[in-house]
Structure 1
Amino acid sequence: MPREAEPSANEKQFLLQALQEGLRLDGRAFDEYRKLDLTLGDEYGTADVSLGQTRVLVNISAEVTVPFPDRQFDGIFQISTELSPMASPHFEPNRTTETEILLSRLLEKTIRRSGALDTESLCLVAGSKVWSVRADVHVLAHDGNLVDAACLATVAALRHFRKPDTAIESGELTIFTPAEREPVPLGWLHSPYCVTFGFFGDEGETVLLDPDWREEHLAVGSCTFGLNKHGEVCHVTKLGGEPVEATTLLKCAAIAGQKIKELSDLVDAKLAEDGRRRDKGGLISELLSAENERVPDA
């Protein structure tokens, strides 16, 4: 259900009073995510993420095109975001909002600028033919923390995507259909994710992981950590003018490191599950393996 543009005065007062008493309206701990669910589509390159009532759908597509003049040996990777009125009343068609700009920039920093996708592997013929990969991010419902949900969905969709196999003979490029050759995955170097915190109080002394829609409107600032499971930092982006103690940011970074591992494990598990589902002989193989490992009764 779409949210109103702003929470009411009574909602704001009630939420702040609850935070002062160490409570969140949905009963979560201060360092706890809402219920997170990831669904991979039947078609390669589609990922649907639900984070509480926030929902983001990402679809990956690829086409052969010419490279940029200053990037003759690199393919093209683009991220496009769409926030429609269906997700929230204050989103309007053909009008870019601050929320959309922020979402686009953080996804760019986390995924594209960090070199997660190996763009050199997208080159087919240097200077003339490369793969152009596009990630379309559709926000279906906005109930806070779009960045974390969109980043998770984008990374999962990119890792799930398969592009047509190709071959070059005598300078001629051949693109094979799925019936002719099995599609191949993208060249993937590392998997970065986002973890966002909201700061509350006059000096930002109260810190909440994964702020929802109401909490976002009352936060005096926020901070998003973009990193991978190895602890390699892609960016740290703090928004809001209120200063935050260095010790607080260090605590947030430690929590983010733990959450990134959980997000990474979730994506790995879903991809493995999808692979087994697509492998028609996978179930039989698992049953045979289990039977071979069973210890005979004495």
Structure 2
Amino acid sequence: MTHRIAVLVLDDFATLDLGIPGHVFRVAEPPADYEVLTCSPGGEPVRCRVGYSVTPDRDLSLLETADTVVVPGIHGGSPLYDGTLREDVREALRATQARLMSICTGAFVLAAAGLLDGRPATTHWRNAEKFSRFFPSVRLNPDVLFVDDGDVLTSAGVVAGIDLCLHVIRRDHGSEVANRTARRCVAAPYRAGGQAQFIERPVPASGEEGTAPARAWALAHLAEPIAVADLAARAGMSSRTFTRRFREETGSSPAKWLNRQRVEYARHLLEATDLPVDEVARRSGLGSAVSLRQHLHAALGVAPTAYRSTFRAGAPVPAR
């Protein structure tokens, strides 16, 4: 069945945020079938900060028939930043039975409607202090890319909005569909929601210098024992220099990075294959089913079998 996505756009909207759901969801291939429509209060034109307006085809009644509602970010001068929200928007959001998503400061809209009270959420780190001041009942975590709380999902800045949309496709239809969608968007196929929003130094482009070749080799040999000395030798560095360069380039130690890659590969195998849990653990380099269970529980709080059943293609979306 077609899954209808309503994008609710308001004055002072963030321009890139508005385009994300319309692009990411629409390029998802079968079995995904997303219809993306845009609405505003009264179907009236809404303005952005860079000199143009958009006129959506629909009004707020679209939220009544939507399966998912996405709220793009708004800029700092919007009245929403003092915690207020138009009554018609508030009522429409509170009445919908759709899954709710926000990109960046779109979380202000959901919070102003009272839909994040007592729930975990995130927004752009630069706006976290103001958000917490106006919405103290929200359990804000400003240090992550996105938060999935079942029927309400929130994300940080622009690129994190892409991450969230890919995560939702992954949740709805599995990793194969999400990965193909990411390739269409020329985006990273998966960044964990708990990953930090930013690091002090940007990650350099992969190339023949630095630790990138060693990382590429490690990803192709996850099932094998890999020591820092092995990676350093492949990069032509001492272990000490390699560890320092690795942290500069990735924001993580080699051991933590390698463990994360193994967990992510195990997740992929659980989603995309019927391999026994022991074999998933072996292929991902986590050793045994017990070790895989411990690592997955530490990362996500679930056991491998529970994760597999939840993220299989066609898993139902929780109702609010």
TM-score, normalised by the number of residues in structure 2: 0.25
The structure showing larger relative contact order (alpha-carbon pairs under 8 Å, at least 6 residues apart) is 1
State the structure with more CA Rg: 1
Answer 1 or 2: which has greater helix percent: 2
